[in-house]
């Protein structure tokens, strides 16, 4: 193997933007916490690594199990943290977790109007739009209009329930199982469950036509 990558042209390494006041403050607080022995750099690294390991695939696994196993769905609706632990998923957030079910008659959509509360332990980082002032301020006032912008038009006879997650409870939406999936196994079903369907701004994918 020859070592030729030193010749690759690339821009000089540099910060891609000047540090903001918030970044400076975070760095200063982190440096103080380390200096005082309250946390170590390895604690910070492990916390970042743990957070980065979470993704909507975890939530999709939970939903697929709920679709194939009604008893599991019952336990998920009754005590979500305990139910996901059955699948080996530890919800490490201190907050509690609550599952709600979307049906033909009731549609839940989740928001945090105060900040960006989100079931990160199950879905990973929230999408940028979830944190945007636009979504947070409008979905509570006009949920049907906002859902329509996401491409989801709900019948007038569907009851819309907006869940404002302001405190210590995180919400997971169980989307309805799409039609035409009767023969699919759990893994195939999980591939139909999108992040957005677990927030309530979309339906699960429908299977590709054979």
Partner 1 sequence: MTPRFKPGDRVRVRADSPPGHIRTPKYVQGKTGEVAGIHGAFRNPETLAYGRDGLPKQFLYVVRFDERDLWQQYRGSPRDTLLVDVYEHWLDPA
Instruction: Kindly tell me which residue out of 28, 160, 180, 185 binds partner 1, with binding defined by CB under 8 A.
Output: 160
Under rule CB under 8 A, residue 145 binds partner 1 = yes
Question: One of 55, 115, 132, 137 is an active-site residue; which one?
Answer: 115
191 is catalytic: no
Alpha carbons 192 and 199: distance in angstroms, whole number: 14
- Tell me the closest approach of the beta carbon of residue 112 to partner 1, in angstroms: 10
The 71-110 contact track toward partner 1, x by CB under 8 A, reads -------------------------x-x------------
Q: Give the position of tokens 């919400």.
A: 171
Two tokens at 115? 């900040």
Under rule CB under 8 A, residue 169 binds partner 1 = yes
197 is catalytic: no
Name the one range near partner 1 by CB under 8 A: 42-50, 64-72, 150-158, 197-205: 150-158
| Residues 142 and 109: beta-carbon distance below 8 Å | no
- Where in 2-41 is the site for partner 1 (CB under 8 A)? none
Under rule CB under 8 A, residue 168 binds partner 1 = yes
Residue whose CB is less far from partner 1, 20 or 157: 157
Under rule CB under 8 A, residue 164 binds partner 1 = yes
3-state secondary structure 160-171: EEEEECCCCEEE
Two tokens at 16? 């891609």
C-alpha to C-alpha distances, 36 to 23, 29, 33, 42, 74, nearest whole angstrom: 20, 11, 5, 15, 47
Q: How many residues bind partner 1 (CB under 8 A)?
A: 24
| Residues 76 and 174: beta-carbon distance below 8 Å | yes
Residue whose CB is less far from partner 1, 68 or 140: 140
In DSSP notation, 59-70 reads HHHHHHHHHH-H
Q: Which of 71, 115, 125 lies closest to 93, judged by CA?
A: 125
Which residues have a catalytic role annotated? 112, 115-117
Q: Which residues bind to partner 1, rule: CB under 8 A? A: 96, 98, 113-114, 140-145, 156-169
């Amino acid at each position: 193997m020859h070592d030729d990558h030193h010749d690759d042209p690339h821009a000089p390494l540099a910060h891609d933007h000047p540090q903001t006041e918030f970044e400076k403050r975070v760095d200063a607080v982190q440096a103080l916490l380390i200096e005082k022995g309250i946390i170590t750099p390895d604690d910070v690294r492990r916390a970042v690594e743990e957070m980065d390991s979470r993704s909507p695939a975890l939530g999709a696994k939970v939903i697929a199990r709920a679709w194939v196993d009604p008893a599991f769905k019952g336990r998920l609706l009754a005590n979500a943290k305990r139910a996901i632990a059955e699948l080996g998923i530890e919800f490490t957030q201190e907050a509690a977790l609550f599952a709600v079910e979307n049906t033909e008659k009731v549609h839940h959509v989740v928001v945090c109007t105060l900040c960006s509360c989100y079931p990160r332990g199950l879905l990973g980082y929230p999408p940028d739009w979830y944190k945007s002032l636009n979504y947070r301020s409008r979905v509570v006032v006009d949920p049907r209009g906002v859902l329509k912008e996401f491409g989801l038009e709900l019948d007038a006879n569907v009851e819309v329930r907006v869940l404002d997650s302001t405190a210590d409870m995180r919400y997971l939406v169980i989307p309805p199982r799409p039609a035409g999936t009767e023969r699919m196994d759990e893994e195939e079903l999980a591939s139909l469950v999108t992040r957005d369907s677990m927030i309530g701004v979309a339906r699960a994918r429908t299977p590709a036509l054979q």
